[in-house]
Amino acid sequence: MNEILDWNDLRLFLAVARGGGLAGGAKAVRASAPTLGRRILALERGLGMRLFTRHQQGYELTSDGLELLAHAEEMERAVLGIERWRTSAAPNALVTIAAGEWTGAYLARNIAGLVAENDSLSVEIKTGSAATDLLRRQANLGLRNRRPDTQGLAGKRLGAVAFAVYGAKTFVQQHPQTRDDEMRYQSSAWIGFHPPGPLVPSAVWLAARLEADPKLKCSSTQAVLNAAQAGAGLCILPCFIGDLEQGLARASGCIEALTHDQWLVSHDDDRHDRAVRLVAQRLSTLFQRNARLFSGNQEQS
């Protein structure tokens, strides 16, 4: 192969190698599996070597594939380094924050605490229950419910996050069983939060207690809130959301099993970037100022 290898081809190769096949690789690069398969086959033909052994269970790297993987990962690190340099040197730096649906909604409501009017930076909030890969710079900062244990990631504890059962004030008043720690799971209507991707911890916890599926399942945070405010039933919310909704009332105390520490996570290299460091400081300040709200110890309005 006389021409220089195209980084885009190597990027697709990395996706298939890490995903264990076309299906996993396609998800990572947002391409169809047939397209990815054609690109990998063209790369193999261009190199004149077989990179994968195809099985029904997926793709397995050959010895040549393993050698190329090491070189491609080295090239990926260089490309990411150039991208970090470009974004940090740019007059309008972009800082991406990965967070769960509820936390992302809270950040959006409090965006003034993260981006000032005269800032030369902008912020992107990526929400979802699927983990965003900070090591590969899919985001600069992540808000996680556990301390990072992966080499290359740094974490800072922000404080406790508590959850409780909520319902419309009139719904809770008219249904006494909603305030009973056992009866509410047996004879109350429920609203479940089921976003795309893996089940969120609160959904798993609730499913273990309900005798039947929730009467309503919602894939977005706003739909859950709208349904709860309309009196459709009970739902589990983080206290930093539920306690600020004037139309809702707590029907339980804080759920100990769902209480967790919130961690601010970043790549070891990214945390030294000026814009990333500034947004990280503002995130930390936002959580510190509202520690009682997040921990469920602030009186509900």
What would the pLDDT profile of 146-205 be if each residue is shown by its tens digit? 898 888 888 999 999 999 999 999 999 999 999 998 899 998 999 999 988 778 899 999
pLDDT by residue (tens digit) across 53-112? 999 888 999 999 999 999 999 888 888 777 766 665 555 688 999 999 999 999 999 999
Angle between helices 22-29 and 7-19 (to 10 degrees): 130
Residue 216, pLDDT > 90, answer yes
Query: Is residue 47 exposed (0-12), middle (13-18) or buried (19+ Cβ within 10 Å)?
Result: middle
Least confident of 8-17, 42-51, 212-221, 267-276: 267-276
Three-state DSSP string of the chain: CCCCCCHHHHHHHHHHHHHCCHHHHHHHHCCCHHHHHHHHHHHHHHHCCCCEEEECCEEEECHHHHHHHHHHHHHHHHHHHHHHHHHHHCCCEEEEEEECHHHHHHHHHCHHHCCCCCCCEEEEEEECCCCCCCCCCCCCEEEECCCCCCCCEEEEEEEEECEEEEEEHHHHHHCHHHHCCCHHHHHCCEEEECCCCCCCHHHHHHHCCCCCCCCEEECCHHHHHHHHHCCCCEEEEEHHHHCCCCCEEECCCCCHHHCEEEEEEEECCHHHCHHHHHHHHHHHHHHHHCHHHHCCCCCCC
Q: What is the mean pLDDT of residues 119-148?
A: 81
Which domains, ranges and CATH numbers included, belong to the chain? 7-86 (1.10.10.10), 91-160+262-290 (3.40.190.10), 163-258 (3.40.190.10)
Which pLDDT band, with edges at 50, 70 and 90, does 119 fall under? confident
Q: What is the mean pLDDT of residues 2-27?
A: 86
pLDDT at 1: 47
What proportion of the chain, given as a percentage, has pLDDT over 70?
93
pLDDT at 198: 79
Q: What is the mean pLDDT of residues 206-235?
A: 94
Least confident of 12-16, 133-137, 142-146, 238-242: 133-137
pLDDT at 94: 86
pLDDT at 184: 94
Q: What is the mean pLDDT of residues 14-41?
A: 89
pLDDT at 130: 57
pLDDT at 143: 93
* pTM > 0.75: no
Residue 136, pLDDT > 80, answer no
Average of per-residue pLDDT values in the chain: 89
Q: What is the mean pLDDT of residues 7-22?
A: 91
Q: What is the mean pLDDT of residues 114-129?
A: 84
Least confident of 99-103, 194-198, 236-240, 286-290: 194-198
